[in-house]
Structure formats: structure tokens, C-alpha cells
Amino acid sequence: MTRYQALANGIYWLDTDRRARFLAVCFPIWSTELDTDFLRHLGMQSEYDLQHGIERTYGYMFYTERICCVPLYVLLRTRKAWETTGIIDKSALMNAIWENCPEYAASNNAREQSGLNDGFAQLVNAFGVPAEAAIDSENMIVLTPGAGTDFLHMDKRPMQIIW
């Protein structure tokens, strides 16, 4: 038996009867917003998707409770309501990234400091128009003492059951 809560359409928090917890992200979302080698490597696919090719089955990518902080951090960029409604505590989320995936935090911060996270400047430069990349300290993954690592607060939403 599995219980689930919807964070958004196509993004679900799963809780199994074996006490395993996962973030499930549907194909259209993970293939556009989470399609990096690092995030693909972190994610897991169902046996069916592995056998038939996830690009043909349009299946879900699953992230364990320990490492789901990284995809949630990326998804939070376009889902600000998660932070404003309190579903996700961003400070605790960033602490969890440093604790569970420090290589991602360090890489993200290095890319931000070098301007590589500014996609628009990268695009303009590719067309031969010089543009200085913007560096935004808001995009840095920082440690916040006292914030802990309990970042997901889904307890206000009812769990649905899948048999």
C-alpha cells in the first residue's frame, strides 16, 4: 500500500507501508526542469520504465527521502508558493542539500559565482553579443545555523491511498 500527497500536478510525495518515502516527478516536469546528468543519476526509474525506455513510457522519476532535497530545490525556483505557504522551508532545504549532497551545493555555488547559471547571458553570448552574466546571491545554497534539515511540511495536506 502506498499513500501520497500532491505537492503540485505531477509532483507527489509517496509514503509506502514499508516506511520508504519518495518524491515522484512526472516525465514532462523532470524531462524539462530536472534533466541534468546529476539529477538523472540521483533519480530512480520503475522496472517497466527501465525495460521499455522512460522516453517511450513517459514514466516518473523517483527520488529517495534523503536526496529529494536537490530536485525540490530546483523545482522551488518556479514554484514559489511552496515556500510562501510553508510546505517547504528553504533554509532547512539548503541545509539538507549541504548535508546529503554537498557536491551539488558546491557545484551550484561555483556556477553561480562564475555567472554560468545566467541562462540569458549564456544565450546572448552564444549569438556573439557580449553580455555580462548576472551573479545573484539569492541563488547560492547557504548554510543557516539553527534551521535544521526538516524542510518538507506536508502534514497539513491529507494523504490519499493507493491500493
Distance CA 71, CA 140 (A): 15
Judged by phi (left if over 0) then psi (alpha if -120 to 50, else beta), residue 116 lies in alpha
Distance CA 46, CA 85 (A): 31
pLDDT at residue 10 greater than cutoff 80? yes
Distance CA 133, CA 116 (A): 7
Q: How many domains does the chain have?
A: 1
pLDDT at residue 120 greater than cutoff 80? no
CB contact at 8 A, 142 and 94: yes
Q: Give the model confidence (pLDDT) of 27-74 as tens digits.
A: 999 999 998 889 999 999 999 999 999 999 999 999 999 999 999 999
Q: Give the model confidence (pLDDT) of 143-153 as tens digits.
A: 999 999 999 99
Q: What is the mean pLDDT of the chain?
A: 88
Distance CA 12, CA 124 (A): 36
Mean pLDDT on 100-114 = 91
Q: Which domain holds residue 113?
A: 2-162
